[in-house]
C-alpha cells in the first residue's frame, strides 16, 4: 500500500471533497482486486462530528502501527494550526 498523506481541507457545506473521493476510490479499487483485505475508517462529517468503523481482516501489528502514525500526524497537524 502506498504511504500517501493527504491533508483534507473541509469544503463548503454540501460540496464533495475531490481528494476524499479519490482516496476512497483508490482504496475501493485495491479492495476489489484483493490487495486490501481490511480497513479501519475514521470519518469526519461536514458538521465536524467524527465516527469510525472497520471491515475485513483488521488487527495486525502493522495496522496498529499505521494507525499510531496516522494519529501522530493528525495531532501534529492540529498543534500546528493552534
pLDDT tens digits, one per residue of 20-68: 999 999 999 999 999 999 999 999 998 889 999 999 999 899 999 999 9
Could you tell me the pLDDT band of residue 6, with boundaries at 50, 70 and 90? low
From residue 64, alpha-carbon distances to 40, 69, 71, 75 in Å are 10, 9, 10, 16
Distance CA 45, CA 49 (A): 5
Distance CA 50, CA 41 (A): 10
**Predicted local confidence at residue 9, as pLDDT:** 62
Please state the pTM of the whole predicted model.
0.74
Amino acid at each position: 500500500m502506498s504511504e500517501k498523506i493527504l491533508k483534507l481541507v473541509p469544503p463548503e457545506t454540501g460540496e464533495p471533497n475531490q481528494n476524499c473521493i479519490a482516496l476512497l476510490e483508490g482504496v475501493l479499487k485495491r479492495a476489489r482486486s484483493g490487495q486490501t483485505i481490511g480497513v479501519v475508517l475514521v470519518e469526519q462529517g461536514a458538521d465536524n462530528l467524527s465516527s469510525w468503523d472497520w471491515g475485513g481482516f483488521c488487527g495486525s501489528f502493522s495496522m496498529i502501527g499505521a494507525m499510531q502514525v496516522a494519529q501522530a500526524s493528525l495531532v501534529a497537524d492540529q498543534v500546528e494550526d493552534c
